[in-house]
Amino acid sequence: MAVGCDHAGRDHKELFMQHIEAMGYKVLDMGVAPDVERANYPEVAIKVARLIQAGEAKFGILICGTGVGMAMVANRFRGVRAANCPTELVAVMARGHNDANILTLGQRTIGPRLALSILDAFLSTNFEGGRHQERINLFEGIYGTEKL
Ligand code: RB5
């Protein structure tokens, strides 16, 4: 699992890394380190998105202040489906219906307990396939040459 954050998501990233390592996942930490005072979220999101694209990680987690910027950047990459999930229900739907492979979250908008609960919901839900795959197929092919 690939994880990344900017300066606004450092605490949640540390918490998430402990949590997912305890669950037995191998963690690819794309930064930033806890002592980094300012970071650009696009630089981190690009690193995590590329790992997903390359098949080096099945899932990614990206944390910034709101989760919004991370999702915007990650979704520019072909094959990446990043979902900003503020509730467990959104995380379940993002996995079950949208086959999201990156969870984005806001540390400034979601407290640590809820954040961990959202992460668990995301990781424990399987994609349902079927009509949902057909719907994904309707947009996965339309990126053209501009898609990274
Ligand atoms: C950083 O101040 C903040 O803009 C960033 O973490 C994020 O919320 C962007 O979407």
Domains of the chain: 2-140 (3.40.1400.10)
pLDDT at 95: 99
69 lines ligand 1 (CB under 6 A): yes
Per-residue pLDDT tens over the stretch 76-130: 999 999 999 999 999 999 999 999 999 999 999 999 999 999 999 999 999 999 9
64 beta partners: 106
77 lines ligand 1 (CB under 6 A): no
Q: How far is the CA of 88 from the centre of ligand 1 (A)?
A: 22
Exposed / middle / buried, residue 140 (Cβ in 10 Å: 0-12, 13-18, 19+): middle
Residue nearest atom 7 of ligand 1, based on CA coordinates: 65
| 64 is known as an active-site residue | yes
- Please report which confidence band the pLDDT of residue 148 belongs to, taking 50, 70 and 90 as the band edges: low
